[in-house]
């Protein structure tokens, strides 16, 4: 998943860095007393537009040339941005209560929300917060599980082993081992919450959680209720999936280890955090060997280069009437891991210079999983390119879920029919059993993820508000995981542990709600685009490949960026102003029938 808001924050960081480097501090903060709100926003936009190039280059170099020097530059830029943001928002406060035009008011609101980590106005506290933030991310990135024999295993290696191993005790050892990295974070995180909340207070919010929820064109309370409503729409499908997966795991490991009336042990689902269950498909496959989609063999047999794999994704977007990637994309992107230096291989899409300089950064391998990631990342690039003519403050997704959902929507159109049409598989023949198999593969990733996507921020919202006290960090974490996911820690956990810290997005301060929303929106987008393309039949069989009508409608939404409240933007594509998870139920109708049949007579729930 592309961490888009982190990227936007990084781009904004650059603005602060560049502003400080090009003009004296007193010039940067001063403005004529008579400056109108419209003039203020115009000035902010001009600064952002003119100064993003420097920071974009610095961020790119940090990700593609990992050295101590680039780390120092990155930390310094973060502190400079925090100071710039606090100062600029303080200037904006003088327009509170004034009657302003819609665009000006929206610009000021987005400026206030231009960071996921607001820093206190006090310079010493600001520096302390940025140092803690850097250290927490560094502790996670450097984390290893070291066995008693001195053998140490990195987080990436542990993740890979969790997908492959099937022995109960081996998995338990690795699961526990990774979580040894987190207890040293606990006291730091408590202080981090205090400082971030103070920064949010300085911007006019009760706490950081309230500030995060304020970015959805509704009150924080209304948004929390909205997230709950969306979850209720999909919960019945998740419950059926959970019941069936638990039964199959009981057959594999024994019901003494997987009781059929209890939560599933968290280490048995093929993922370090049990957030997606796709890697245990071999244990769950409804009809073994039926119509397997083997794209990997094609990629290897035809020896697709990384660039050719990216061309495949580009061709999907151009079939919708969208432009080809600019020459600079091919010249400046990183498609493979360089042999001469350390880089961040985690896939990401970059819209530098206000979207005029588009790039992706990946270490591409010849696999179908990697191909889908490429299609997803180009979704970010096409979004960035589409809204590049918007003012800088409006260069972003309509809400945080939109950016993640675009590429995921396109991957839903990578149907067997599409894959056969473009020569990635030999045949598109799909019988009822093949459809169930494919839907099970998708559900183990997309449906299993939904409650996890919701609870990460629900835990943090309560931590930031004080509803969850530091003394209950771990207990509350597992209470929520059991409530929503129906999983439980496989061994006793206590407040000496800090299991939230073992998930990257917590120490890295990356909001997770975007991923929950994206998993809802992608199906809603797909249903609307399939209707526009004239598709008849089951939603799961639809590919919008080649539909100029669908592409035109999608582009109209993308071009709006963050210029309008997201319901207005959503309406451009779907004709509705409300996020709606019923498209998920429509899409997975065949699987739902299969699961209900399989679960007949079982004791579901936990």
- Catalytic positions are 346-347, 376-377, 380, 404, 505, 515
Phi, psi of 369 (to 5 degrees): -60, -45
Cα maximum dimension of the chain: 75
Cβ contacts of residue 94 below 8 Å, gap of 6+? Answer: none
| SS3 assignment, position 187 | helix
Query: 523: closest CA among 367, 401, 374?
Result: 401
Say how far residue 60 (Cα) sits from the centre of its chain.
19
Strands 487-488 and 264-265: parallel
Phi, psi of 338 (to 5 degrees): -65, 150
Query: 416: closest CA among 439, 393, 394?
Result: 439
Distance from first CA to last CA of the chain, Å, rounded? 30
Cβ contacts of residue 511 below 8 Å, gap of 6+? Answer: 5, 116, 212, 400, 457, 505
Cβ contacts of residue 595 below 8 Å, gap of 6+? Answer: 237, 240, 241, 243, 244
Whether the CA torsion 261, 265, 271, 273 is positive or negative: it is: positive
Cα(274)–Cα(487) distance, rounded to whole angstroms? 8
Cα(441)–Cα(140) distance, rounded to whole angstroms? 30
């Amino acid at each position: 998943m592309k961490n888009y808001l982190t990227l936007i924050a990084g781009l904004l960081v650059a603005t602060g860095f560049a502003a400080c480097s090009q003009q004296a501090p007193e010039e940067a903060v001063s403005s004529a007393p008579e400056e109108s709100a419209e003039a203020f926003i115009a000035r902010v936009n001009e600064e952002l537009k003119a100064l993003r190039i420097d920071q974009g280059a610095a961020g790119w170099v940090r990700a593609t040339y990992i050295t101590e020097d680039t780390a120092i530059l990155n930390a310094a830029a973060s502190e400079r941005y925090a100071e710039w943001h606090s100062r600029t928002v303080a200037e904006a406060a003088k327009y509170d209560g004034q009657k302003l035009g819609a665009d000006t008011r929206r610009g000021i609101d987005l400026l206030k929300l231009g960071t996921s980590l607001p820093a206190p106005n006090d310079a010493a506290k600001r520096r302390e917060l940025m140092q803690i933030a850097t250290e927490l991310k560094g502790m996670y990135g450097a984390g290893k599980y070291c066995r008693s024999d001195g053998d140490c295993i990195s987080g990436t290696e542990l993740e890979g082993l969790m997908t492959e191993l099937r022995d109960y005790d081996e998995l338990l050892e690795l699961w526990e081992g990774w979580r040894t990295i987190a207890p040293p974070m606990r006291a730091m995180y408590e202080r981090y919450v205090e400082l971030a909340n103070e920064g949010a207070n300085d911007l006019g919010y009760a706490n950081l959680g309230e500030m995060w929820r304020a970015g959805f064109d509704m009150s924080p309370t209304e948004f929390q209720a909205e997230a709950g409503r969306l979850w209720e729409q999909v919960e019945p499908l998740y419950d059926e999936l959970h019941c069936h997966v638990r039964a199959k795991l009981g057959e594999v490991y024994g019901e003494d280890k997987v009781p059929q009336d209890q939560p599933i042990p968290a280490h048995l689902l093929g993922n370090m955090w049990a957030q997606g269950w796709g890697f245990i498909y071999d244990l769950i496959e409804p009809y073994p060997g039926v119509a397997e989609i083997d794209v990997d063999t094609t990629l290897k047999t035809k020896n697709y280069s990384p660039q050719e794999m990216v061309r495949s994704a580009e061709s999907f977007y151009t079939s919708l009437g969208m432009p080809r990637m600019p020459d600079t994309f091919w010249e400046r992107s990183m498609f493979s891991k360089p042999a001469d230096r350390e880089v961040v291989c985690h896939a990401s899409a970059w819209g530098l210079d206000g979207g005029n300089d588009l790039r992706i950064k990946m270490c591409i391998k010849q696999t179908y999983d990697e191909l889908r990631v490429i299609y997803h990342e180009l979704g970010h690039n096409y979004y960035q390119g589409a809204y590049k003519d918007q003012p800088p403050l409006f260069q972003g997704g309509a809400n945080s879920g939109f950016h993640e959902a675009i590429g995921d929507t396109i991957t839903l159109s990578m149907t067997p029919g599409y894959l056969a049409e473009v020569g990635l598989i030999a045949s598109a023949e799909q019988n009822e059993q093949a459809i169930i198999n494919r839907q099970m593969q998708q559900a183990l990733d997309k449906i299993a993820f939904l409650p996890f996507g919701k609870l990460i921020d629900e835990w943090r919202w309560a931590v930031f508000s004080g509803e969850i006290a530091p003394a209950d960090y771990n207990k509350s974490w597992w209470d929520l995981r059991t409530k929503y996911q129906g999983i439980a820690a496989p061994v006793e956990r206590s407040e000496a542990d800090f299991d939230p810290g073992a998930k990257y997005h917590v120490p890295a301060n990356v909001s997770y709600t975007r991923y929950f929303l994206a998993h809802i929106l992608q199906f809603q987008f797909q249903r609307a685009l399939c209707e526009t393309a004239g598709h008849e039949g089951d939603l799961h069989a639809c590919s919008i490949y080649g539909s100029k009508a669908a592409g035109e409608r999608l582009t109209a939404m993308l071009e709006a960026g963050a210029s309008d409240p997201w319901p207005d933007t959503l309406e451009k594509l779907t004709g509705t102003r409300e996020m709606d998870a019923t498209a998920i139920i429509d899409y997975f109708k065949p699987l739902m029938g299969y699961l209900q049949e399989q679960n007949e007579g079982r004791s579901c729930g936990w």
